[in-house]
Amino acid sequence: MIEHLTIRERTYNALLEMITIRQLQVGQVIDEVSLARMLNVSRTPLREAIRQLVIEGLVTARPYRGHAIRSLTTKELNDLYSVRKELEVLAIRGAVPRMTDADIAELEGLLDRGVQAPADRRPARLRQPRQGVPRPYR
């Protein structure tokens, strides 16, 4: 089924991705004119998307100064990682019993390629060769 998104939804998704990949930096003031031009949308759907991001707590509204990308507190980050960890555990518990040998081999290949990626693009903790990392359950 093809999902049709409104311009506001597509704009929201684009802004969310820009925040996620840090194309829009924490503390950065949102320049509506430039963003609208870059995303090829009018300012109305852009403002609607920004309003949704304010509701979700990713953007702060600053009266008479526009909007800015908000930083998360340590507690918020810890809460997010806790939820993510639990969701990943549930996903793994559901996926492992259904995995084939081909699925496991593909995952091992992805893990090996990740370890072999250029060192300058990875944090120091990921630059070491894979040792002692358990293989997926068979």
pLDDT at 112: 82
Predicted confidence (pLDDT) per residue in 117-138, tens digit: 665 565 655 555 544 444 443 3
Predicted confidence (pLDDT) per residue in 85-123, tens digit: 999 999 989 998 999 999 989 988 888 877 676 655 656
With tokens 């004119």, the residue in question is: 33
pLDDT at 36: 93
Predicted confidence (pLDDT) per residue in 20-46, tens digit: 888 899 989 999 999 999 999 999 999
Q: What angle, 0 to 180 degrees and rounded to 10, lies between the N-to-C axes of helices 7-20 and 32-39?
A: 110
Distance CA 134, CA 14 (A): 37
